Structure 1
Amino acid sequence: MPPHLTPPDWLVRTLKPQRAAGVPWAAVTRAAIAMSAPLAVGLATDRFAYGALASMGALSGVIGDTADAYRMRVFNIAVPQLFGAVGVTVGSLVFGQGWLAVIVVTAVALVSGMISTIGAVASVSGLLLLLNCVVGAGLPMPGDWWLAPLLMTSGGLLVLLLALLAWPLRSKVPERAAVAATYRAVANLLEAAGTDALTYAETRLAVTQSLNQAYDLVLARRTLAHGRNPELVRLVSQLNAVTPIVEAAPAAHHAGAPLPPGVPDAVRLLADTIASGRVPKEAALDLPEAPDPASRAVDHALRHAAEVASRRGDADFTNVDDRLGRPAALRVRARRGARNVLLSGASWRYGLRLALCIGIAQALVSIVPVPRSYWVALTITFVMKPDFGSVFSRAVLRALGTAAGLVVAAAVLAEVPMGWWDVPVMMLLAPLIPALTPRGYGFQTAAITPVILLLSDILNHQGTALLWPRLLDSLMGCAIALVAGYLLWPESWHTRIGDRLADAVADTAGYVECAFGATEDPAARARMRRRLYRDLSVIRTEFQRALTEPPPTGKRAAAWWPLVVAVERIVDATTAARVRVRHGAAAPDTVEVTHVAGQLRELADGLRASEILEEVRADFGGAGPQDGVLEHVRQEVAAARAIAAPR
């Protein structure tokens, strides 16, 4: 392709489909049943519009049906439905009220934006609060004021009911599967140790993400359990037991030679044991001989994990908290969330951004006659979602996804007669939402668009006349979000990678001091390492988001990548050095540790001040012996400082 016809890199990254693990067949089946059944009941009772409202509620339940653990599904689906009921009630009360509707919907947008910054469940709750308020203010609802929220909530709860049908038989399966997946990810990490550096780094990132997901699932369930639950204790113990293996992996990687195949195979055997839920009578691992300190560290860690996996009724109720600390109770987290909403500057800024965009949209459609004008605000609500990625890329994907969805909707509205034929059509269209959502936001939009248009046609009987207004309103919403929600806010088009990376570098300095300090506290060291890898995982996610931004943001973000990798290598080298000390190597003296930590803090200060370091010392003078245990750490620190140095 000629260079002048080659699309820019940021656009290619934006349009590239995301990797998906596979089709979530259970979610696909639930979507087909939950969204078509209300339509069938509505037709059978001659209340087709009521069935369409219940299907709209089921649509929100399908979008929120993302949790693996059954208890979390209750929160992810039921709690947002309550907020959605409040939203549609408030919106319907101001329907047709002119500027009063503009003020009320804008105020709801402010509240929605602020609570969306608390967490995942609050984010979906804020989304439904605003979405349903916009729909209620833009569409005449059939029946009394309480009927629409009741029908929409019932549709969402139908999705929840279908999701919980297997709970009595599979109550512990999602948590066990998550822990087993972590062990398999660790097995892949040991398999990659001593091989290609890029492969090892990508595999270690997968381990971090798997650990995060497993801890979140297991500990979320544990905070809801009353008293000590032996099964949960065992799962957390098994997760904690994998930490020494993860710590030993960098030492094996720095040794430069791949581990024998029997080592990762042993970890996969433990994973299969955990996934099955059976407890072996004794730990039986066929491990090869460990000839060097790194191999011995892996061997000891594996045998410890096998011992933990073989415990039956004597589950250890001590040391069973997440390596990030004991999870807070629900009331404590609720109190923290409320405090963050009221006192957080980020919460207020996002709430004001969203309120400004919604206010402009509502005011514009009040002045300019736009058919089905509520779609403008709906588009803004989806595009401005705080935890869904770049506003810019989402606006682009929203426009393209809507256009693709309209092609399908045009065929459906033109060829399918309204009535019983809508039920099988919905059974075909609804499953596309959970099937395509993992592929990316554009695919999700393309799947949702024909579903929403089909339900809107049942309520308004406009047929293909809905298509052009739908595209026009979406483009208007994207334009408002880009200008009022993106370009007018400098923080949205300046990358935050530098500040976050500076914090990670400073935390790395503390990790170096903790790893080789006078006080021996394995739990504190493990917590620091877990926090570091979790923070670096967030930085990687932020980096990927920034790459989808147009110049100059994307190019500025790309410049940070070598330093992100360098910091990860420093953490790995520190962990490997600690493993060597634990298995017989001479510990570094305090002066050497202090010097390395000081170099890292100097780098962090320079990054925070957005200043380029004037000089980087490749050697460390008399900081320590050249063959000491921290030699590799010093080399990685020097490389990181060299990356930040002027060219």
Structure 2
Amino acid sequence: MSWRRALKEAGRSGLKIERRRLEPLIAIRAAIGLAAVIALALTISTPAAAASSAFGAYSAAIATFQRSWRPRPVLALVSGASLAVSTFVGYLVGTQGALFIVLLAAWTFLAGLAWSAGPTAGIIASSNVAIMLVTVTLPTDVLSAAGHAGMIALGGLVQAALIVLFPVRRWGAQRDALADALAAEADYARRLRQDPHAAFDSVHFMTARSAAAVSARQARRRPAELHGTRGLAERIRPVLASLADPSVGAPAEGPERDRAREILAAAASVLDASARAIRHGKPMVVPDTALAALRTPESGQVLTGPAHRSAVRLIALLRDVVETARGAGTTEETTTNDPAAPLLRPSLARLAPVVVRGMRKEATRRDSPIHRHALRVAVVATVGYLIGEVLPFGHGYWAPMASVMIMRPDFSQTYSRAIARFGGTLVGVALATAVVQLAHPGMYLSAALAALCAGLMYLLMRTGYAVAQVFVAAYVVFLLGMGGLQWTQTVPDRVILTLIGGLLAMASYALYPAWETPRLRTRLADWLTATGRYAAEVVSHYADPAGARRSDVRQALLAVREADVAWQEALARAANEPVRHRGLSRAAADDAAHALDRLGRVAMLMEAHLPERSTTPVPAAEAFSDALRRSTEEAAKAVRDRRVPQWDAVREALAAWDGEGVPDRVVRKGAGLVLTSLEEFSEALEPTDP
């Protein structure tokens, strides 16, 4: 992609407005918390202190809107406390000139490294730097700085208290994540009726798994319908695929195929009913037609062999779904086959050392996107601050603040946010200026208008970054106007310095990039390794049913999903980068991904028919499993080195298998399909003639 096209796509992405489900009650609650803090501060202190407390309450509310499964009050408290510390530390050296610049660079570098702990931590850390740049200009002495820091912490405390006292849709995020996974699986069942090889995106299951991780305290308070259903849905998916696939399930045509379609339709209805019940916290209502379809026909069993086994297992699992969704079924521990169940989320105290180790690791990896982002944002914030000090404006901190809030570890987000922030700022300050010119608001009316703009930002922030920035710009104008600053002292400064900050952010990525395109082969190799290990674990289970552990299969499957999502995210980022593919064209990437999807599907089909402990072992499966493990590890190295993988060892193991006899046709047929998928993967990476 050329730079011209990349900038055009970034502009479209940044200015795009999406239709999203709004949450007005949550937005109103956050705005009320902000207004209450401002009113209290104006009553007992100065407008400057009110501005400090407003920043704390505002940022604390922003933190609670992030995609995190931790309790929202905890996020608000952490945000408020960290902002208070940043402000106080910044003030202590704020008058020292060179020392403050050193602190700013170090603080910003650490904020950049915080992205290694996830987007929520990165956004909170970036807010700390941005607010520190603003609030250190407000106090006049150390005692006053401590008071300002306390007011900022109070803002976070108020937001947390409001969430506790006035909860809106308890466990709503967890309910939505689980319901989305069930609804996606219902759609998958319907698509399998027409396309037995339909693909399934596991991202909903991964999201639901993340949402299911709770603290020990949350585990005691979690609604009954959120226990166990995810584990059942995980077990249902391979059974659905095995029933529909003609190679190990119902034949492609005939009465058995018709019966399979009937069961798949009933499964979709049950899963949809479960999703609705969990999403809204209401009793589950399953259509009678679906329940009737799950009963054995009066004419007797239609399905035979592996298809019959899949149907029996599916019907039993669906009955468990009905019982679990009604709060009377199994628990998470008995349904996931996961040694880590129930999924317990570490406390912040236990998480802190893990985050520190992760940041230290990223700091030593000079080629990692996080390390490069930390360096970029530290340099840009420092340069922006110096430029702001040199220019004849009264609010030079707006340039580095805009840069810090714009910059992200990847190219597309950084450029799209830069364009969106400048466009939103222009519109926002224009609207706020018009209101100021017409209404001439005083201190209290300016405070009310600031709270109103913040509430609108909370309400519409998920519809697009440009929309949010319109109200952010107006919020800042009214907030500073509350302290007596005229619009002529804020609007021109903010527009020009925001433009400078955005240009610095964009230039930094162009000069010191962290392109994803050159890493695509590494991501593909990681996905190949994980998928090959998963298939090998499944096959080895047939070799030793009595000694195999299903938890190993489960852990291998989770690794495949993580690698798959990492590949998809990397491919999406690379698609918007102005960089040539460097040895892996988009067509080759698509074909290779299709082959790995097929490999994972074959392994999943075999997993659906894992033998019981008393089943006769298949000795040849062990040799095939070992060859598959070794070959995929060697193939992953070949992919990274831009060579075409070879599968001679897997081919020889399969030939030896045929000479020993095959007591289980499912695993032998699956092994053949595994080799076919691997060969398709190699064909996708074959160099093409120019």
Identify the residue that residue 106 of structure 2 maps to in structure 1: 107
Inter-CA distance 243–283: structure 2 relative to 1 (3 Å threshold): farther
Q: Distance in 2 between matches of 1:401 and 1:554?
A: 36
Identify the residue that residue 163 of structure 1 maps to in structure 2: 163
Identify the residue that residue 631 of structure 1 maps to in structure 2: 672
Contact between 2:10 and 2:412, CA under 8 Å: does it hold in 1?
no
Say if 2:532 is the partner of 1:530: no
Residue 269 of structure 1: which of 268, 273, 295 is its match?
Answer: 273
Q: Deviations over 1:451-506 (max 9, x none)?
A: 1222123235131442222122122212222333x233343465533212211111
Identify the residue that residue 682 of structure 2 maps to in structure 1: 641
1:409-558 pair list within 5 angstroms = 409-419=432-442, 420-423=444-447, 425-459=449-483, 461-484=485-508, 486-492=509-515, 494-517=517-540, 518-519=543-544, 520-552=548-580, 558=586
Q: Deviations over 1:582-625 (max 9, x none)?
A: 5999977345445555554444222222x1428899x9588357
Q: Deviations over 1:216-257 (max 9, x none)?
A: 2331x23445xx738578734222121111222333454477
- SS of the residue aligned with 1:535? helix
Of 579-588 and 600-609, deviating more is: 579-588
| AA of the residue aligned to 1:82 | A
Say if 2:341 is the partner of 1:310: no
Q: Distance in 2 between matches of 1:191 and 1:16?
A: 36
Inter-CA distance 436–512: structure 2 relative to 1 (3 Å threshold): same
Give the percent of matched residue pairs that are identical in Structure 1 and Structure 2: 19
Q: Distance in 2 between matches of 1:182 and 1:105?
A: 43
Identify the residue that residue 379 of structure 2 maps to in structure 1: 356
Say if 2:282 is the partner of 1:259: no
Contact between 1:84 and 1:132, CA under 8 Å: does it hold in 2?
yes
Gaps of 5+ in 2: 247-251, 297-301, 659-664
Q: Distance in 2 between matches of 1:630 and 1:534?
A: 24
Of 547-556 and 504-513, deviating more is: 547-556
Q: Distance in 2 between matches of 1:335 and 1:214?
A: 26
Q: Distance in 2 between matches of 1:436 and 1:549?
A: 28
- SS of the residue aligned with 2:117? coil
Q: Deviations over 1:66-115 (max 9, x none)?
A: 26889621222111211100111122333443223212222221232233
Q: Distance in 1 between matches of 2:401 and 2:286?
A: 58
| AA of the residue aligned to 1:164 | V
Q: Distance in 2 between matches of 1:333 and 1:306?
A: 38
Say if 2:235 is the partner of 1:212: no
Q: Distance in 2 between matches of 1:607 and 1:450?
A: 51
Say if 2:355 is the partner of 1:337: yes
Contact between 1:361 and 1:376, CA under 8 Å: does it hold in 2?
yes
Inter-CA distance 565–135: structure 2 relative to 1 (3 Å threshold): farther
| AA of the residue aligned to 2:687 | P
1:566-585 pair list within 5 angstroms = 566-580=595-609
Contact between 1:70 and 1:171, CA under 8 Å: does it hold in 2?
no
- SS of the residue aligned with 1:418? coil
1:10-409 pair list within 5 angstroms = 10-11=9-10, 14-15=13-14, 17=16, 21-41=20-40, 47-66=46-65, 72-139=71-138, 144-167=144-167, 171-172=170-171, 174-195=173-194, 200-201=198-199, 204-205=200-201, 208-219=202-213, 221-225=214-218, 229=220, 231=222, 235-252=226-243, 254-255=245-246, 259-260=261-262, 261-275=265-279, 285-288=291-294, 291=303, 293-294=306-307, 296-297=309-310, 300-307=313-320, 310=323, 316=331, 318-319=333-334, 323=338, 325=340, 327=344, 329-330=346-347, 331-344=349-362, 345-346=364-365, 349-386=372-409, 390-409=413-432
Q: Deviations over 1:400-422 (max 9, x none)?
A: 33334333333333333222443
- SS of the residue aligned with 1:310? helix
1:265 Cα offset (Å): 0.2
Contact between 1:390 and 1:548, CA under 8 Å: does it hold in 2?
no
Q: Distance in 2 between matches of 1:352 and 1:320?
A: 45
Gaps of 5+ in 1: none
Inter-CA distance 424–359: structure 2 relative to 1 (3 Å threshold): closer
Of 259-268 and 282-291, deviating more is: 282-291
Q: Distance in 2 between matches of 1:229 and 1:51?
A: 39
- SS of the residue aligned with 1:363? helix
| AA of the residue aligned to 1:291 | L
| AA of the residue aligned to 1:149 | A
Q: Distance in 1 between matches of 2:337 and 2:354?
A: 19
Inter-CA distance 243–282: structure 2 relative to 1 (3 Å threshold): same
Of 267-276 and 449-458, deviating more is: 267-276
- SS of the residue aligned with 2:514? helix
Of 174-183 and 25-34, deviating more is: 174-183
Inter-CA distance 562–136: structure 2 relative to 1 (3 Å threshold): farther
Q: Distance in 2 between matches of 1:38 and 1:516?
A: 61
Q: Distance in 2 between matches of 1:310 and 1:14?
A: 44
- SS of the residue aligned with 2:165? coil
- SS of the residue aligned with 2:158? helix
Inter-CA distance 550–127: structure 2 relative to 1 (3 Å threshold): same
Inter-CA distance 116–174: structure 2 relative to 1 (3 Å threshold): closer
Q: Distance in 2 between matches of 1:31 and 1:554?
A: 48
Say if 2:637 is the partner of 1:605: yes
TM-score by length of 1: 0.84
1:514 Cα offset (Å): 0.1
Inter-CA distance 436–174: structure 2 relative to 1 (3 Å threshold): closer
Count of matched residue pairs: 631
Contact between 2:127 and 2:405, CA under 8 Å: does it hold in 1?
no
Contact between 2:523 and 2:570, CA under 8 Å: does it hold in 1?
no
Q: Deviations over 1:33-59 (max 9, x none)?
A: 233344455566684444333322222
TM-score by length of 2: 0.79
Identify the residue that residue 249 of structure 2 maps to in structure 1: none
